[in-house]
Structure 1
């Protein structure tokens, strides 16, 4: 999924609009779960780094952690958002 599409989904979520199923795990629509995790991790990055929402979005979207999160078979989406953020920061430390 493209950054633009994810940004649109975040916008829809923020405005309480419905979304179509995009992310599935074992046949179950988990789109809202994934989008909420993306939103929460971006909020953590924004708060920790004292940067704007757009800056946090761009940083997270460019990470390997984000790519793994979108691969629903990894089940990273089922972990707490602080765990996902920790993986993001570990990745940045390793680079």
Structure 2
């Protein structure tokens, strides 16, 4: 599934970005074990919501991670579900997905 979020002429603060969520999910399923914040006792399902917050958040907010962080935290709290990831680790995963989305 691809998400495209375009700038709204009336609100101008939305990013223009297309995110292929299936591609991002496949990437992170393979890559998460190589990240410095990876913890062996956690599964991909623990990390997946954080990655989703990161790449979808970049599409929604664009700009700097720091400027969007408050909204990203709220998104994490809302969608984390059963993830056992403590917020500090989630923040690192969110940022990693944000930075990857920013490069694409």
TM-score calculated relative to the size of structure 2: 0.33
Q: Which has more radius of gyration?
A: 2
| Higher helix proportion (structure 1 or 2) | 1
TM-score calculated relative to the size of structure 1: 0.35
Structure number with greater CO (CA < 8 Å, separation at least 6) is 2
